[in-house]
Amino acid sequence: MHSSQVLNLPLSMKTMYDIAEFVIRSVEMINPQQVEKMVELLVDFYNTNKSGKVLVMGAGRSGLVGRAFAMRLLHLGYNAYVLGETIVPAIGQRDIAIAISGSGRTKLILTAAEAAKEAKASLIALTSYYDSPLGKIADVVVEIPGRTKYSMNEDYFARQILGITEPLAPLGTLFEDTAQIFLDGIVAELMMRLKKTEEDLRLVHANIEL
């Protein structure tokens, strides 16, 4: 879409455009080797340790992203759980913990990740900062781009004139949206490697819903 067309859109639609543009750019920024390590760990885990557990951890909106991913892992045949639920079992050696934190410093998630490592579980971290405390203790790190600073100028037109291209997305929105789409991509990759069809997933999907 031409820049002049974007300027004439309602603010809500400009924001959608900004976020979508950021997500598309992020594809070029994510390291394929990091992604492959994550996928290989999950595939090998499925093929050799079907009784093992996968615990997904995230706080706030990152937690919602994690819940959506855990649901798809369940549909794929993993024993997937979400930190904070009452039915979460103990995890230990040969289990996997997946921690989602843009800053890599969220205390609740960092503490949980450290506990998972002490229990000898493998730790996958999704964060914007490889050298964050979370990144440093993880077995596999996937760097997901996100907003790195806050713009002091909230006016869209002024930011365009000044060449400030930070999208109209508060707090961790960019990380969370990008992480959600990235994890949907991981689901597609796992479906292919595990030879799962949409029908396979549908059979595991909840059949008692409100």
By annotation, the residues acting in catalysis are: 176
Beta bridge pairs of residue 122: 96
Dmax (CA) for the chain in angstroms is 56
DSSP string, 148-181: -S--S---HHHHHHHT----S--TTHHHHHHHHH
The C-alpha atoms of residue 78 and residue 91 are separated, in whole angstroms, by: 14
- Cα–Cα distance, 57 to 100 (Å, whole number): 6
**DSSP one-letter code for 50:** T
Residue 17 burial by Cβ neighbours in a 10 Å radius (0-12, 13-18, 19+): middle
Answer yes or no: are the C-beta atoms of 145 and 128 closer than 8 Å: yes
In angstroms, the CA 184 to CA 13 distance is 23
